[in-house]
Structure 1
Amino acid sequence: MRLTLIAPLLILALLAACGRGVPDDARVVVAGDSVMAWNRTGGSSVADQLAARIGEPVGDVSLPLARVTGGRGALNIPDQLSGVRAQWIVLNGGANDLSGGCDCSACGPVLDRLISDDGRRGAIPALVADLRARGSRVIWADYYTAPRYAGTACEAPYQVLETRLGRMAAADPGVTLADMDDVFRSDDLSLFASDRAHPSPEGSARIAALVAPLVTP
């Protein structure tokens, strides 16, 4: 999934910042990019709907335009989670790194910075290892295939990313890879916003439904 139209998204990022935070008693915290943050202004983000499903507060530090590498403050996903300790961290990331770094082609160097072929090195494994060292269990939510990019060259880097994330998760029982494609269909436009890339409220609900059983005691 590529993110374009930077100026409008910067405005949305400012709007989506409203309501971000981590309640003191939050057992689950959501972090990441716009896939997680989308629909927050309407109270229907992934964290909003996850909280409703599990019946308890859910922290949310996600923000549109956030990257795993680069970005400052909350636009850097590791920085979003600075000082955060929770039983479960649910997060995603990498789309903005890929869209800003390789434009769907020659993405090898960007992928390698994010996560190595064996899933053990790179910014993503480093972040996950840090969260695990704090005592958190990690659910990495792998991207769905958005209709805007289905059937294009943009799918290939994300398939590589998913494979590498799977290897990372397989090496640690405290890490789970949740594949959004298990609950999305790129031809079901009811799951997507009008940009045909981000989730609709129903799409965010699908992601929350995917995650809820994993964090339910």
Structure 2
Amino acid sequence: MKRWLVFPLLLLAACGRGVPDEARVVVAGDSVMAWNRDKDASVADTLNARLGEPVGDVSMPGARMLGGFGPFNIPSQLDGVTAEWIVLDGGANDLRSTCDCSDCGPVLDRLISEDGMQGAIPALVADLRRRGSRVVWTDYYTTPLYAGTVCEAPYQVLEARVRRMADADAGVDLADMDDVFSSDDLSLFDDDRTHPSQRGSSLIAELVAPLLDRRN
């Protein structure tokens, strides 16, 4: 990374909301989670309003499961964090930066194995579970840019593997953003047709919130 990029990125990192001491829920991950934070309308902001309680937010645009440093590495975002619920996503930036749409097998295997038991994602989830947290993994929606193209395939593989991971542990829930998103509805997306609009962020929070109401 060029040295002149370091200070702007560190300044951006400082804009994260952090984790209040009393937070029962913490949001982590990449730009899908962090988007609209400057408008107080991110996923964590909407969860805060809906649940009526403090919600931690350590998510960062550009964050990866593999590589990255500090808050730009999703496992590092959660270093030392303990909470009843961790809501997170991850993997899109790894796929986007390290493979094209037809040669993603190696990075998918590093993220999560075919059986859902090995790789960076299961390792992070297992670590969170050992800390006593329950996990909501939010699987990506299909963007207007990828809909109907070969680029959908790696994300479908990722979802299938994460679903196997979640099925193996009652303390892990999979929230599929495609349940509330349609790539044809541009009101759900920002102008880049990739990140969520404020309405999109709200829908993600509304998808997740009922899972967090469970206290068992």
Normalising by structure 1, what TM-score? Answer: 0.93
| Deviations 1:146-192 (CA, angstroms, capped at 9, x unpaired) | 11111111100000000000000000000001000000010000000
Q: Could you say what the CA RMSD is over the residues aligned between the two structures, in angstroms?
A: 1.8
Cα distance in 1, alignment partners of residues 13 and 188 from structure 2:
19
Look up the match of 1:50: 47
C-alpha distance 103-20 of structure 1, shift in aligned 2 (>3 A): farther
Look up the match of 1:100: 97
Contact 2:113 / 2:161 at 8 angstroms: preserved in 1? Answer: yes
| Deviations 1:91-114 (CA, angstroms, capped at 9, x unpaired) | 000000000110222100000000
Structure with higher RCO (Cα < 8 A, 6+ apart): 1
Look up the match of 2:156: 159
Contact 2:16 / 2:60 at 8 angstroms: preserved in 1? Answer: no
**Residue 157 of structure 2 is aligned to residue 135 of structure 1:** no
Where structure 1 has 5 or more consecutive residues not aligned to the other structure, the ranges are 1-7
Cα distance in 1, alignment partners of residues 30 and 11 from structure 2:
13
Contact 2:163 / 2:174 at 8 angstroms: preserved in 1? Answer: yes
C-alpha distance 39-49 of structure 1, shift in aligned 2 (>3 A): same
Which deviates further from its counterpart, 25-34 or 150-159?
A: 150-159
The residue identity in structure 1 corresponding to 2:170 is P
The residue identity in structure 2 corresponding to 1:63 is M
SS in 2 for 1:206: helix
Cα distance in 1, alignment partners of residues 65 and 175 from structure 2:
18
**Residue 79 of structure 2 is aligned to residue 72 of structure 1:** no
Contact 1:62 / 1:80 at 8 angstroms: preserved in 2? Answer: yes
C-alpha distance 109-19 of structure 1, shift in aligned 2 (>3 A): closer
**Residue 27 of structure 2 is aligned to residue 30 of structure 1:** yes
Normalising by structure 2, what TM-score? Answer: 0.93
Alignment size in residue pairs: 210
SS in 2 for 1:127: helix
Contact 1:105 / 1:153 at 8 angstroms: preserved in 2? Answer: yes
TM-fit CA distance, 1:45: 0.3
C-alpha distance 29-194 of structure 1, shift in aligned 2 (>3 A): same
Stretches of 4+ aligned residues off by more than 2 angstroms? 10-17
Where structure 2 has 5 or more consecutive residues not aligned to the other structure, the ranges are none
C-alpha distance 95-32 of structure 1, shift in aligned 2 (>3 A): same
| Deviations 1:44-100 (CA, angstroms, capped at 9, x unpaired) | 000000110010000000000000010000000000000000000000000000001
SS in 1 for 2:23: coil
**Residue 139 of structure 2 is aligned to residue 150 of structure 1:** no
Cα distance in 1, alignment partners of residues 192 and 8 from structure 2:
15
- Residues 117-136 of structure 1: pairs in structure 2 closer than 5 A: 117-136=114-133
SS in 2 for 1:79: helix
| Deviations 1:125-164 (CA, angstroms, capped at 9, x unpaired) | 0000000000000000000001111111110000000000
Look up the match of 2:109: 112
TM-fit CA distance, 1:16: 6.8
Look up the match of 2:84: 87
Contact 2:16 / 2:59 at 8 angstroms: preserved in 1? Answer: no
TM-fit CA distance, 1:12: 8.4
Cα distance in 2, alignment partners of residues 129 and 36 from structure 1:
21
Cα distance in 2, alignment partners of residues 67 and 175 from structure 1:
20
